[in-house]
Amino acid sequence: MGGVSLFQDDFRLIHQSLEKLQQRTQANAILLIDRAGQLITSVGKTDKLDITSFASLSAADFAATKQLAALIGEEEFSDLFHEGERENIYVSMVDSKVILVVLFDKRSTLGLVRVRATQISKEISEIFQNIYKKLEEGGPTTTSIVDAEFTREAEEEIDNLFK
Amino acid sequence: MSLINYASREINCKIVYYGPGLCGKTTNIKYVFSKVAPETRGKLISLATELDRTLFFDFLPLNIGTIKGFKVRFHLYTVPGQVYYNASRRLILKGMDGLVFVADSQTDRFEDNIESLKNLEQNLVSHDMKMDGFPFIFQYNKRDLPSISPVEELESVLNQKGAPFFEAVASQGIGVFDTLKEASKLVLRLLTTT
Ligand SMILES: Nc1nc2c(ncn2[C@@H]2O[C@H](COP(=O)(O)OP(=O)(O)OP(=O)(O)O)[C@@H](O)[C@H]2O)c(=O)[nH]1
Ligand SMILES: [Mg+2]
């Protein structure tokens, strides 16, 4: 299965790409989400957004749409668009583990978002390729923080929480 | 797929509740939501039919706390148990770190449990996962009802691999936390060994 570990340098690169996308599209917010529904990171205005719920639902939405595509014999819909009265949601795939979600309003357009998001997705995909490679080569793994002490403390928290 | 973010210092893990229709998956997660300290929980999202059957999933994020500087979060999901929702069920397994199989103890649901377990095995294949590749917990639910199978019988048929198991009455909260506690500990322990 294999989890993903993100380190400072890669994270900074990812952020730069997302910020660039935000500037170029005037998007309100951009989220990078793993296909299991967990938020990786975001830029822009997200303070009024329940970002955890949003990440989980976007991933599910994307997964369901992908299956719909398969049912009509499409390899994949490359992206997904929901139009609202004030705000729109654009979702596209970065790679097999990661999706990109752009929230934008009338200061931007779908065409612009789509073109820019495709470019940035490529950049981010390359960053992730690097991350996966490093993980495979056994770079710094989870063990560097998740050790016996970590497990003990975490189990204490769990015992306290689920009483 | 556990996600460890060293930059934002977060660890996220995903636990899925699986099992036949009406076995009590949603009841488990609702109980957790109602009993856990409010500051540790996020919003409970239920994508359900009008009759309260799970249509796509329930989702509950939990903050376990900050451990050695890392925020540890668990994301709980339930799948829809009804047979014909298999397509959605399969999707929810994506990136799962640990699984709770909720079995319905009622004798007339015995076959449904077996069926659901088989279905799980098939669905895992599409994610390149195997039954013994992740933490797995059994919960024998509805122990309060009159016509139920003895635990030994459920054990011998469902739990071939000797995974940890708990008896439960989810509707009264009995066994719900014990199950989740064990599942989350196993998931965290696996992090140390991968
Ligand atoms: N008597 C009894 N009833 C229970 C117990 N646990 C759940 N129930 C009831 O069983 C019914 C179905 O429970 P749910 O939690 O919705 O079942 P589910 O597994 O989520 O079902 P699907 O969403 O269709 O997959 C509800 O009416 C619950 O109140 C239990 O331990 N004992
Ligand atoms: Mg349900």
Sequence ranges of the domains in chain B: 3-193
Q: Which long-range contacts (CB under 8 A, 24 or more apart) does A42-49 make?
A: A42/A18, A43/A15, A43/A18, A43/A19, A44/A103, A49/A103
Alpha carbon A24 to its chain centroid, in Å, reads 19
pLDDT at residue A140, rounded to an integer:
56
A-B contacts at Cβ under 8 angstroms: 158
* Ligand in nearest proximity to the CA of B51: 1
Q: Which of B3, B14, B67 comes nearest A154 by C-beta?
A: B67
pLDDT in tens, chain A (163 residues): 356 778 888 999 999 999 999 999 999 999 999 988 889 999 999 998 999 999 999 999 998 888 888 889 988 777 899 999 999 999 999 998 899 999 999 999 999 999 999 999 999 999 999 988 887 776 555 556 778 888 899 999 999 999 8
The closest residue, in CA terms, to atom 2 on ligand 1 is B142
Residues 6+ apart with CB under 8 A from A37: A55, A56, A57, A58, A59, A60, B14, B59, B75, B77, B95
Report the separation in Å between the CA atom of A16 and the middle of ligand 1, taken as the mean of its atom positions. Answer: 47
Report the separation in Å between the CA atom of B175 and the middle of ligand 1, taken as the mean of its atom positions. Answer: 14
Residues 6+ apart with CB under 8 A from B186: B98, B135, B137, B164
Q: How confident is the prediction for chain B on average, in pLDDT?
A: 94
Confidence of residue B142 (pLDDT cuts 50, 70, 90): very high
**Nearest C-alpha neighbor of A145 from the set B73, B134, B188, B15:** B188
- Whether the predicted interface score ipTM is above 0.90: no
Residue in chain A nearest B128 by alpha carbon: A1
Which residues in chain A touch residue B56, judged by CB atoms under 8 angstroms apart? Answer: 60, 64
For ligand 1, which residues put their CB under 6 angstroms from it? B 19, 21-27, 53-54, 78, 80-82, 141-142, 144-145, 169-171
Which residues in chain B touch residue A35, judged by CB atoms under 8 angstroms apart? Answer: 1, 94-95
pLDDT at residue A2, rounded to an integer:
52
Report the separation in Å between the CA atom of B91 and the middle of ligand 1, taken as the mean of its atom positions. Answer: 22
pLDDT at residue A134, rounded to an integer:
82
pTM: 0.91
> Which residues pair with residue B58 across a beta bridge?
B46, B78
What is residue A90's DSSP assignment? Answer: E
pLDDT at residue A3, rounded to an integer:
67
pLDDT at residue A1, rounded to an integer:
38
> Which residues pair with residue A80 across a beta bridge?
A91
Query: What domains can be seen in chain A, in order of their start residue?
Result: 3-161 (3.30.450.30)
* Ligand in nearest proximity to the CA of B21: 1
The Cα B109–Cα B111 span in angstroms is 6
The Cα B36–Cα A2 span in angstroms is 29
Which residues in chain A touch residue B96, judged by CB atoms under 8 angstroms apart? Answer: 36
Q: Please state the rounded mean pLDDT for residues B10-20.
A: 95
pLDDT at residue A110, rounded to an integer:
96
- Ligand 1 atom with the smallest distance to the CA of B19 is 19
Report the separation in Å between the CA atom of B113 and the middle of ligand 2, taken as the mean of its atom positions. Answer: 15
Q: Do A1 and B191 touch (CB under 8 A)?
A: no
Q: Please state the rounded mean pLDDT for residues B125-132.
A: 90
Please give the CATH number for the structural domain made up of B3-193. Answer: 3.40.50.300
What tens digit of pLDDT does each residue of B69-123 get? 999 999 999 999 999 899 999 999 999 999 999 999 999 999 999 999 999 999 9
Q: Do B36 and A150 touch (CB under 8 A)?
A: no
Give yes or no for B39 touching A (CB within 8 A). Answer: no
For residue A63, the distance in angstroms to the closest alpha carbon of chain B comes to 7
What tens digit of pLDDT does each residue of B29-59 get? 999 999 999 999 999 999 988 888 999 999 9
pLDDT at residue A28, rounded to an integer:
96
To test ligand 1's pocket by mutation, which of B16, B18, B26 has the most ligand atoms within 8 angstroms of CB? B26
